[in-house]
Chain A
Amino acid sequence: MGLFGRKQKPLAKMSDNELIALAKADKEAFGELYERYVTKIYNYIYYRTGNQQDAEDLTARVFYRAMGHIENYVDKGVPFQAWLYRIAHNLVANFHRDHGRRKIIPLDDYVAHTLRSEAPDKQAEASDEQETLMKAIGRLPAERQQLILLKFIHQKSNAEIGEIMNRTEGAIKSLYHRTLIALRDEIQMQDMKNTMAKPDADSTARKHGRG
Chain B
Amino acid sequence: MNTTHEQHVQDLVSTLTDAVIRHDGTLDQIMGRYDLNDDDVANWLPIIDSLHNTLVEVQPRPAFKRQLRNELLKRPIGVRVRLRPLPTRVQLAAVLTIVGGFVLIVYNWFMGNMREVALNPDDEPAVLH
Contact = CB atoms under 8 A, between A and B. Distances in A.
Contacts of A110: 54, 56, 58
Q: How large is the interface on A (under 10, 10 to 19, 20 to 34, 35 or more residues)?
A: 35 or more
A47 B55 contact: yes
A75 B2 CA distance: 33
Interface SS majority for chain B = helix
Given A113-B58, A114-B54, A151 B17 contact: yes
Interface in B45-67: 47-48, 50-61, 64-65
Interface residues of B, number: 39
Contacts of B54: 110, 114, 129-130, 133-134
A143 interface: no
Nearest to A111: B54
Contacts of A114: 53-54, 56
A129 B76 CA distance: 44
B29 interface: no
Nearest to B47: A184
B14 A176 contact: yes
A28 B10 CA distance: 43
B1 to A, nearest CB: 11
Given A34-B72, A158-B14, A173-B11, A43 B47 contact: no
A43 B60 CA distance: 8
B87 A153 contact: no
A183 B87 contact: no
B17 A30 contact: no
Given A114-B54, A114-B56, 6 more contacts: A31-B72, A34-B69, A34-B72, A52-B61, A130-B53, A158-B14
